[in-house]
Structure 1
Amino acid sequence: MTQVQPQLNRWLSVPPGADIARFASDAASAWESFLDKGITPASVRSVVGESWIRSKTRGVSPDAVEQTDLLPAADLEAYRSAHPMSLIRPVIRELLVADAVGSELLVAMSDEAGRLLWVDGDQRARDRAVSMSFVEGADWSEERVGTNAPGTALAVDHPIQIFGTEHFSRPVHEWNCSAAPVHDPLTGRIIGAIDITGGPRVAVPEMLQLVKATVRAAENELRLYLMRSPQPVTAAVPRLQTLGLTRPVLHDDSSSRKLSQRHAEILLLLAQHPEGLSSARLAVLLDESDLDDVTVRAEMSRLRKVIGAHVLGSRPYRLLSEVRTDVADVMAALQRGDIKVAIRSYTGPVLPESDAPGVVDLREDLHSRMQAALLRSGDPAMLNFWTSSVHGRDDLTSLEAYLHSLRPEDPMRSQVKARIMRLDRELRM
Structure 2
Amino acid sequence: MATALMTPEARARGMRAEVAASWERSAAAGVDVTQQEAPIALDAPDLRGQREAHPLARVFPLLDDVLGQEVRDCGALMALADAEGTLLWVCGTPERLREAERIGFVEGSNWDERLAGTNAPGLALATGRDAVITRGEHFRSAVRAWSCAATPIHDPGTNRLLGVLDVTGGDALVVPQTMAMVRAAARLAEAELARHAPPPSRPDRGTGLRLVLELLGHDEALVCVDDGRGRLHRLRLSRRHSEIVALLASSPAGLTGDELAVLLYEEDGGSSTLRAELNRLRGLLGDELLASRPYRLAAPVVGDWLAVEAQLAAGDLRSAMRGYAGPVLPRSAAPGVVRMREGLAASLRQALLRSREPDLMSAWTRSGWGRDDYDMWLAQRAVVPAASPMRALVDGQIARLDAELA
TM-score, normalising length from structure 1?
0.50
**Is contact 1:149-1:162 (8 Å) kept?**
yes
**In the aligned structure 2, how far is the partner of 1:128 from the partner of 1:31?**
33
1:244-393 aligned within 5 A: 325-329=315-319, 343-346=345-348, 363=354, 365=356, 376-377=372-373
2:180 is aligned with 1:209: yes
Deviations 1:338-360 (A, max 9, x none): 9957643349779xxxxxxxxxx
Distance in 2 (alpha carbons) for counterparts of 1:138 and 1:329 = 21
**Equivalent residue of 1:223, what SS?**
helix
Does 2:67 match 1:71?
Answer: no
Q: Say if 1:121 and 1:336 are closer, same or farther in 2 by CA, change over 3 A.
A: farther
CA distance in 1, matches of 2:146, 2:374: 44
1:91 partner amino acid:
L
**How far apart are residue 67 of structure 1 and its match?**
4.0
Alignment partner, residue 106 of structure 1: 77
Q: Retained in 2: the 8 A contact 1:33–1:40?
A: no
- 2:62 is aligned, of 85, 91, 101, to 91
CA distance 1:229–1:364, shift in 2 (3 Å): closer
Aligned residue type for 2:183: K
Residue matched to 2:334 = none
Identity of aligned residues (%): 32
Tell me how far apart the structure 1 counterparts of residues 113 and 26 of structure 2 sit (CA, whole Å): 7
Greater relative CO, 1 or 2 (CA 8 Å, sep 6+): 2
Tell me if the contact between 2:71 and 2:167 (Cα under 8 Å) persists in the aligned partners: no
* Cα pair 2:39 2:116 within 8 Å, conserved: no
Does residue 222 in structure 1 map to residue 208 in structure 2?
Answer: no
Confirm or deny that 1:132 pairs with 2:132: no
Match of 1:239 in 2: none
Match of residue 144 from structure 2: 173
Of the structure 1 ranges 130-139 and 83-92, higher mean CA displacement relative to structure 2 is found in 83-92
What whole-Å deviation, never above 9, does each CA across 1:57-82 have from its counterpart, x for those lacking one?
A: 11111111444444111110001110
- What is residue 28 of structure 2 aligned with on the other side? 57
SS at match of 1:132: coil
Distance, in Å, in 1 between the alignment partners of 2:125 and 2:163 is: 8
Task: String of CA shifts for 1:273-292, please: whole Å, max 9, x gaps.
Answer: xxxxxxxxxxxxxxxxxxxx
Moved more, 100-109 or 340-349: 340-349
Deviation at 1:215, TM superposition (A): 0.7
Check whether the contact 1:333–1:341 (CA below 8 A) recurs between aligned residues: no
Q: Distance in 1 between matches of 2:324 and 2:372?
A: 12
Deviations 1:309-365 (A, max 9, x none): xxxxxxxxxxxxxxx734335666899999957643349779xxxxxxxxxxx9573
Residues 165/184 of structure 1: CA separation in 2 closer, same or farther (3 Å cut): same
1:363-388, Cα deviation, whole Å (9 max, x unpaired)? 57379x69x97895369xxxxxxxxx
Q: CA-atom RMSD, angstroms? A: 4.3
- Tell me if the contact between 2:31 and 2:114 (Cα under 8 Å) persists in the aligned partners: yes
Task: Sort the Cα spacing of 1:348 and 1:148 in 2 relative to 1 into closer, same or farther, 3 A.
Answer: closer
CA, structure 1 residues 163+112, in 2 after alignment: closer, same or farther (shift >3 Å)? same
Say if 1:333 and 1:65 are closer, same or farther in 2 by CA, change over 3 A.
Answer: farther
Q: In the alignment, is the contact (CA less than 8 A) between 1:55 and 1:146 conserved in 2?
A: yes
Q: C-alpha displacement at 1:101, in angstroms? A: 2.7
User: 1:84 and 1:65, CA in 2 relative to 1: closer, same or farther beyond 3 A?
Assistant: farther
**Structure 1: any 5+ residue segments left out of the alignment?**
1-29, 232-323, 351-361, 380-404, 406-429
Q: Structure 1 residue 52: deviation in Å?
A: 1.1
Aligned position for 1:123: 94
Contact 2:39–2:110 (Cα < 8 Å) also in 1: no
Write the deviation string for residues 188-245 of structure 1: whole angstroms up to 9, x where unpaired.
111001111111111100000000110111110011011x5658xxxxxxxxxxxxxx
The two structures have a TM-score, normalised by structure 2, of 0.53
CA separation of 1:330 and 1:40: change in aligned 2, threshold 3 A: farther
Q: Structure 1's 110 and 52: CA in aligned 2 closer, same or farther, altered over 3 A? A: same
